[in-house]
Amino acid sequence: MELNKKLDTLKQIKEVDAPPFLYTRILQRIQNLQQLEAPVKWKWAFALTAMMILFVNIAILVRSAAPVIKNTGVENMVNAMDLSPSNDLYHE
């Protein structure tokens, strides 16, 4: 019953007229936002950031393609004697 009373109050709501030219004002604001151009500082910041990311990626690629470090004397001896570098007792 209480729910019906609360819902009945919603029937008393009346439609309100919108101010004249409201729709055209809203459209004008949307068009003004689309016509704005990014500031020059933002453009330079984006360009510099993109270049920094590119250089970091190139540096990572160059370092990953670097030659493998040569084996030390002990590793050379193990490889020459055909010994196993692991502590496994069986080759499974």
Report the domain count for the chain.
1
Rounded distance, CA 45 to CA 53, Å? 12
Output the pTM of the full model: 0.40
Low-confidence stretches of the chain (pLDDT beneath 70): 66-71, 85, 90-92
Task: Establish if 86 belongs to a structural domain.
Answer: no
pLDDT for the residue 69: 65
Q: Distance between CA atoms of 46 and 42, rounded to whole angstroms? A: 6
CA distance 55 to 15: 61
Is 32 contained in some domain? no
Average pLDDT for the chain = 83
Q: Please write the tens of the pLDDT for every residue from 65-84.
A: 766 666 677 777 777 787 77
Residue 91 has what pLDDT?
Answer: 61
In this predicted structure, what is the pLDDT of residue 67? Answer: 67
Q: By residue range, what is the domain housing residue 53?
A: 37-67
Residue 20 lies in a domain: no
